[in-house]
Structure 1
Amino acid sequence: MPFPFPDVSSRPISELLSLTGRNAVITGGAQGLGKAIALRLAEAGANILIADINADLAASAANDISSRFPVKAIGSGIDVSEEDSVAAGAERAVAEFGGLDIWVNNAGLFPSVAAEEMPVDDWDRVFAVNTRGVFLGSRVAAKRMTGAGGVIINIVSTAGFTAPAPGLAAYVSSKHAVRGMTKAMALEFAPKGIRVLGVAPSFVPTEGNLAMAAAMAEQAAAAGMELPTMDVMQHSLIGRLGTADDIARVVLFAASDLSTIMTGSVLLADAGETI
């Protein structure tokens, strides 16, 4: 059976990059990397639903987006680890926008705790958000992407390829799982015209990443090691730390028709960190 992906070779770049008329959900989208992604997708013309555990922050981010771009933007409080909550977010996007075309699984947890000291409940919570959340989001999105199909984008992290530092066993394991899930779901969803891609960022100084870096530096100091906060995961070949917008532009490429030939891949947005 031929897969229903169109040949867009004759279309101009401006059309291939445009997301006008498309509807996107970004989990964990109220701040940091998620908000940067939402801003770029909105700039390209997509309507945006910000899904975040913090409903007030989600609403604030949506208001900011709608004040900048002529698109619809709404905030919705959801817990990506809860099936009913994720389904409610998807249903709201369909009700508000009339459809669903792009789903970005960005929400994540990254505590820094030595494996032998990590409580099982904390380990399970990391997997509930980082792995179960991607499964629930991808499944609910695929069920609602009809007609022209859609794109699911998983924020994988370079921790899906390497173990960047001690204390991240749960995070690294969860992201390796998401990398595999990206391949498996691409295989299953292709006949529906749905592409599944991953984007693997290196360390960028968002609110969450800075908090994690500070915690890791504190742990290193307690163990008598010197680990400057901003060097925790910095192995850049471009001479600077990446920014949230550096990653958001890669996600925009993945969401757009520029990347129509791609599915099942994980794009390393890592400034050469994993070479």
Structure 2
Amino acid sequence: MSFPFADVSAQPLTDLLSLADRRAVVTGGAQGLGKAIALRLAEAGASVAIADLDQAAAAAAAADIEHHHGGRAVGVAMDVTDAGAVAAATDDVVAALGGVDIWINNAGIFPSARLLDMPDELWEAVFAVNTRGVRNGAREAARRMDEGGVIVNIVSTAGFRGVAQGLSAYVASKHAARGLTRQLALELAPRGIRVLGVAPSYVPTEGNIAAAQAAMAAMAEAGINPSGVPSAMTQSLIGRLGTPDDIARVVLFAASDLSIVMTGSTLLADAGETL
């Protein structure tokens, strides 16, 4: 069996980093970490599709990316939990950009509820986005990557350990996404598709800040001291929290030929938190 991954040792660094002529999809890309990733991919030369539940926000983010980098960017509506919607949106991306070479499974949710109080519907909703959404995106990307490609799953340090009270669904879903990354790498290698995970620690984005505040409020209402929530999310050995762009640069490495020898790994981008 032939595995079509080239030896790029003779290529200059600029070519290894370049994403020129490649087409990238970033789910949950309208703001926060997803938008930061899309900006770096576009800067490296990729045409970018911002896929988000909020089509207007996706279109605005795409317009901003085009303004900053001058390349092609489009916004599409996508519900990652709906396999049919993901397939239809991916068809729209292919029609607009001509294909898919890079797919970033970034969309995720992280509501807080203690196990004993958690409705079944909330557990299912977390897995629908954080795990089934990864499967849906990876499957539609792989079906269209006729000449190989790269899939990057945004996992989280929660895919390596427990985090804080109230996050059992999130932690379990991210462990599943990390395992899925390994299995997808195994299954898709013969098609020339690499699959990597990137696991950030807590990064202050709009969604993360709101989620942390909601988690602390819920714990306080239940009579639990919420002081452990921020400390669990901000353990850093580099003297500061990571930024969205810190994570975006790791994703750029994973998506580029700089990492062509890597597949199946999940890269910790956690400022030393997970030791």
TM over 0.5: same fold? yes
Q: How far does residue 136 in structure 1 lie from its aligned partner after superposition? A: 0.5
Matching residue of 1:119: 119
Alpha-carbon distance in structure 1 between the residues aligned to 2:153 and 2:127: 15
Alpha-carbon distance in structure 1 between the residues aligned to 2:121 and 2:219: 24
Kept in 2: contact 1:213–1:232 (CA 8 A): no
Kept in 1: contact 2:152–2:196 (CA 8 A): yes
Q: How far does residue 213 in structure 1 lie from its aligned partner after superposition? A: 1.0
Matching residue of 2:21: 21
Matching residue of 2:175: 176
Question: Residue 114 of structure 2 aligns to which amino acid in structure 1?
Answer: A
Deviation readout 1:154-176 (Å, 9 max, x if unpaired): 00000000111010011000000
Matching residue of 2:236: 236
Matching residue of 2:197: 198
- Structure 1 segment 133-172 matched on structure 2, within 5 A: 133-147=133-147, 149-172=148-171
Q: How far does residue 65 in structure 1 lie from its aligned partner after superposition? A: 0.3
What is the identity percentage for the equivalent residue pairs of Structure 1 and Structure 2?
Answer: 62
Alpha-carbon distance in structure 2 between the residues aligned to 1:176 and 1:224: 26
Deviation readout 1:158-216 (Å, 9 max, x if unpaired): 00001110100110000000000000000000000000000000000001110111122
Matching residue of 1:55: 55
Alpha-carbon distance in structure 2 between the residues aligned to 1:164 and 1:272: 15
Q: How far does residue 142 in structure 1 lie from its aligned partner after superposition? A: 0.3
Q: How far does residue 232 in structure 1 lie from its aligned partner after superposition? A: 4.5
Alpha-carbon distance in structure 2 between the residues aligned to 1:103 and 1:122: 27
Does residue 64 of the first structure (1) align with residue 59 of the second (2)?
A: no
Kept in 2: contact 1:217–1:232 (CA 8 A): no
Kept in 1: contact 2:165–2:229 (CA 8 A): no
Kept in 2: contact 1:216–1:232 (CA 8 A): no
Kept in 2: contact 1:220–1:227 (CA 8 A): no
What SS does structure 2 have at the residue aligned with 1:50?
Answer: strand
Alpha-carbon distance in structure 2 between the residues aligned to 1:99 and 1:137: 14
Alpha-carbon distance in structure 1 between the residues aligned to 2:229 and 2:263: 36
Matching residue of 1:207: 206
Question: Residue 158 of structure 1 aligns to which amino acid in structure 2?
Answer: T
Q: Any stretches of 5+ residues in structure 1 without a counterpart? A: none
Kept in 2: contact 1:131–1:177 (CA 8 A): yes
CA RMSD of aligned residues (A): 1.1
What SS does structure 1 have at the residue aligned with 2:169?
Answer: helix
Q: How far does residue 231 in structure 1 lie from its aligned partner after superposition? A: 3.3
Alpha-carbon distance in structure 2 between the residues aligned to 1:215 and 1:231: 15
Matching residue of 1:77: 77
Q: Which runs of 4+ in 1 moved over 6 A?
A: none
Task: Assess, with a 3 A threshold, how the Cα gap between structure 1 residues 267 and 33 changes in structure 2: closer, same or farther.
Answer: same
Task: Assess, with a 3 A threshold, how the Cα gap between structure 1 residues 173 and 229 changes in structure 2: closer, same or farther.
Answer: closer
Question: Residue 88 of structure 1 aligns to which amino acid in structure 2?
Answer: A
Task: Assess, with a 3 A threshold, how the Cα gap between structure 1 residues 230 and 173 changes in structure 2: closer, same or farther.
Answer: closer
Q: How far does residue 221 in structure 1 lie from its aligned partner after superposition? A: 3.0
Alpha-carbon distance in structure 2 between the residues aligned to 1:256 and 1:186: 16
Question: Residue 11 of structure 2 aligns to which amino acid in structure 1?
Answer: R
Q: Any stretches of 5+ residues in structure 2 without a counterpart? A: none
- TM-score, normalised to structure 2, is 0.97
More displaced 10-residue stretch of structure 1: 84-93 or 160-169 = 84-93
